[in-house]
């Protein structure tokens, strides 16, 4: 029988997983108190927003010395406050920046106290990085991140040691976008865009794929962020353009309630890609970094158009059923039912590292209806991909690998 982890269990588990070369953790009662208060704070809301912040358990004198311009700004309270869940809730709005840490220390007489705030010159947390805490200086001590209700992540400096999500610690969720989920799976954009670029009098550069992939990732991230913020949940599926004819229809795997007529000419998003490539060519640098530099009026217009298209996708996801697009992000339909009852699917596999080289088997029926639909789609159409967003903000990225349905769990940030 699977047991849920609570603060006492977490303290014991953290002691087991704590790196041998690291500075020792505080005594068990103190550690349990630190975790217990943070856990209770994670269940609270402040002005309608869940408590989300980062905590460090360290006295000021124990923090490593750093040059004046390279260390964090220390805002020390004249009178320390008791380390209580309600205090964390009240201070939460001042700690939403990824550059902020709430500093906690132990006092022999008073127990744990909140003694100040640390504000780094760069974020402690960086979405999209393999290690979420900033390179230097990162205190080599216990850091705790409150990511959502009952969702805690423990770090030793920059290294993640333990993740609590949905009451369990056996599988890590990921803060970063799982690039391995889509690696190499947007390649069809090159084949489709080639003729369109030629029609526009443009030559496709040999290294165009990184730009197109980053654009697709950018749209996906925005869709996920927008859908999370709505609190509605939904499912977004990507299928190869060549698969649409046989996998979409009234008697196919994907049965849309609201099908969209696919034009024979270039669709809207592809038109945006062509326009972006054309403008970057005029600027002499057809790369993602040039596109994101945001110092050109035409590129800013195009970036706004891409963001609006991503927002449209997020809105369509709120309709009951799945939103399905091609890997060129052309909308196929929404309100789509995934129908594959004859597929035998008893287990799926949780990725335990970003590259999914370490997998953990789980029962396929542990998730909700959307999750099972995503699993069956990826099993029926192995080149497809899916994203499932729960009402609580949890996100699963799903794909098939060598006959196995694999998912990455993204932490609720």
Cα atoms in the 13 Å half-sphere on the side-chain side of 209: 10
Structure tokens at 300: 């800013």
In a domain, residue 169? The reply is: no
Query: Which residue among 164, 190, 215 closes a domain?
Result: 164
Spatial separation of the C-alpha atoms in residues 330 and 216, rounded to whole Å: 11
Structural domain span for residue 315? 179-410
Maximum Cα–Cα distance across the chain: 77
CA distance 56 to 70: 18
Question: Rg of the chain's alpha carbons, rounded to an integer?
Answer: 24
Q: In sequence order, what are the residues at sequence separation of 6 or more whose Cβ sits closer than 8 angstroms to the Cβ of residue 355?
A: 180
Same domain, 208 and 267: yes
Judged against a pLDDT cut of 60, whether residue 26 lies above it is answered with yes
Strand partners, 400: 405
Q: For residues 29 and 77, is the Cβ–Cβ distance under 8 A? A: no
Strand, coil or helix: what is 129?
coil
Residue 302, domain CATH: 3.40.1700.10
Question: Is 389 buried (19+), middle (13-18) or exposed (0-12) by CB count in 10 A?
Answer: buried
pTM over the 0.85 mark: no
For the chain, what's the residue count?
A: 413
- The confidence score (pLDDT) of residue 129 equals 39
- Identify whether 90 is part of a domain: yes
Query: Do the domain assignments include residue 174?
Result: no
Summarize the chain as % helix, strand, coil (round to 5).
35, 25, 40
- CA atoms in the 13 A half-sphere facing the CB of 243: 22
213 phi, psi to nearest 5 deg: -65, -40
Q: What is the pLDDT of residue 288?
A: 92
Tell the burial category of 12 from Cβ atoms under 10 Å away from its Cβ (0-12, 13-18, 19+): middle
Q: Which of 129, 164, 199 is a domain's end point? A: 164
170 in any annotated domain: no
| pLDDT tops 60 at residue 128 | no
Please check whether residue 33 lies inside any domain of the structure: yes
- Neighbouring residues of 122: CB distance < 8 A, sequence distance ≥ 6: 99, 134
Exposure of 291 in the CB half-sphere (CA atoms within 13 A): 26
Residue 186 and residue 160 share a domain: no
Cα–Cα distance for residue pair 46/40, rounded to 1 Å: 13
Q: Based on the domain organization, do 249 and 331 belong to the same domain?
A: yes
Residue owning tokens 């062509």: 274
- The reply to whether 221 and 357 lie within a common domain is yes
333 in the same domain as 190: yes
Instruction: With beta carbons less than 8 A apart as the criterion, state whether 410 and 173 touch.
Output: yes
Kindly report, residue by residue over 312-369, the tens digit of the pLDDT. Answer: 999 999 999 999 999 989 999 999 999 987 778 899 998 887 788 888 898 988 778 8
Same domain for 155 and 185, yes or no, is no
pLDDT (tens digit, 9 = 90+) per residue, 151-203? 888 988 777 888 887 677 655 566 667 888 988 888 887 777 888 888 888 87
Examine the fold and report which residue of 130, 164, 198 is the final residue of a domain before the chain moves on: 164
What residues contact 206, with CB distance under 8 A and at least 6 apart?
none
Q: Are 211 and 351 members of one domain?
A: yes
Q: What is the token pair recorded at 51? A: 């408590």
pLDDT of residue 125 exceeding 70, the answer is no
> Is 173 contained in some domain?
no
Closest CA to 413 of 124, 37, 215, 156: 124
Task: Give the helix/strand (H/E) hosting 112.
Answer: strand 111-119
Cross-strand pairs, 326: 239
Contact 356, 400 (CB under 8 A): no
**Residue 411 pLDDT grade (very low, low, confident, very high; cuts 50, 70, 90):** low
Same domain, yes or no: 157 and 279: no
SS3 state at 148: strand
Instruction: Indicate whether 292 and 187 sit together in one domain.
Output: yes
Q: How far apart are CA 270 and CA 328, in angstroms?
A: 7
- On whether both 217 and 314 belong to a single domain, the answer is yes
Tally of structural domains, the chain? 2
Q: What gap in Å lies between CA 350 and CA 370, rounded to an integer?
A: 16
Q: What percent of the chain has pLDDT over 70?
A: 88
pLDDT tens sequence across 289-307: 999 887 899 999 999 999 9
Cβ-contact 51, 42 below 8 angstroms? yes
With a cut of 50, say whether residue 244 has pLDDT above it.
yes
For residues 193 and 158, membership in a common domain is answered with no
Same domain, 44 and 137: yes
Confidence of residue 283 (pLDDT cuts 50, 70, 90): very high
CATH code, domain carrying 97: 3.40.1700
pLDDT of 126 above 50: no
Task: Check residue 172 and give its pLDDT.
Answer: 56
**CA 274 – CA 215 distance, rounded (Å):** 12
Q: pLDDT tens, 46-68?
A: 888 889 899 999 888 887 665 55
């Amino acid at each position: 029988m699977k047991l849920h982890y609570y603060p006492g269990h977490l303290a014991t588990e953290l002691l087991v997983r704590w790196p041998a070369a690291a500075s020792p953790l505080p005594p068990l009662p103190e550690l349990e108190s630190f975790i217990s208060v943070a856990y209770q704070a994670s269940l609270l809301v402040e002005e309608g927003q869940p408590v989300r912040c980062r905590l460090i358990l360290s006295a000021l004198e124990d923090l490593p010395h750093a040059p004046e311009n390279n260390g964090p700004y220390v805002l020390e309270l004249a009178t320390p406050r008791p380390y209580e869940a309600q205090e964390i809730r009240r201070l939460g709005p001042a700690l939403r920046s990824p550059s902020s840490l709430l500093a906690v220390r132990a006092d022999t007489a008073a127990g744990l106290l909140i003694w100040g705030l640390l504000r780094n010159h760069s974020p402690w947390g960086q979405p999209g990085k393999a290690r979420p805490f900033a390179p230097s200086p990162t205190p080599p001590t216990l850091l705790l991140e409150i990511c959502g209700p009952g969702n805690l992540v423990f770090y030793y400096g920059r290294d993640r040691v333990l993740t609590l999500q949905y009451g369990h610690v056996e599988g890590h969720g990921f803060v970063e976008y799982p690039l391995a989920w889509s690696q190499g799976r947007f390649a069809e954009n090159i084949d489709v865009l080639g003729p369109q670029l030629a029609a526009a009098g443009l030559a496709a550069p040999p290294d165009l794929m990184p730009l197109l992939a980053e654009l697709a990732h950018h749209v996906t991230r925005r869709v996920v962020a927008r859908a999370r913020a709505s609190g509605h949940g939904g499912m977004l599926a990507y299928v190869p353009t060549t698969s649409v004819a046989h996998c979409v229809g009234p008697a196919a795997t994907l049965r849309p309630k609201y099908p969209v007529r696919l034009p024979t000419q270039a669709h809207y998003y592809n038109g945006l890609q062509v326009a972006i490539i054309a403008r970057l060519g005029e600027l002499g640098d057809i790369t993602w970094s040039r596109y994101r530099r945001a110092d050109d009026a035409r590129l800013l217009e195009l970036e706004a158009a891409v963001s609006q298209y991503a927002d449209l996708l997020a809105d369509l996801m709120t309709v009951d059923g799945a939103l399905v697009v091609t890997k060129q992000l052309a909308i196929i339909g929404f309100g789509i039912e995934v129908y594959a009852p004859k597929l035998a699917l008893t287990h799926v596999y949780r990725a335990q590292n970003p590259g999914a080289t370490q997998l953990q088997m789980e029962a396929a029926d542990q998730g909700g209806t959307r999750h099972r639909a995503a699993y069956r789609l990826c099993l029926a159409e192995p080149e497809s991909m899916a994203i499932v967003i729960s009402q609580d903000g949890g996100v699963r990225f799903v794909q098939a690998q060598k006959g196995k349905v694999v998912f990455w769990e993204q932490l609720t940030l």
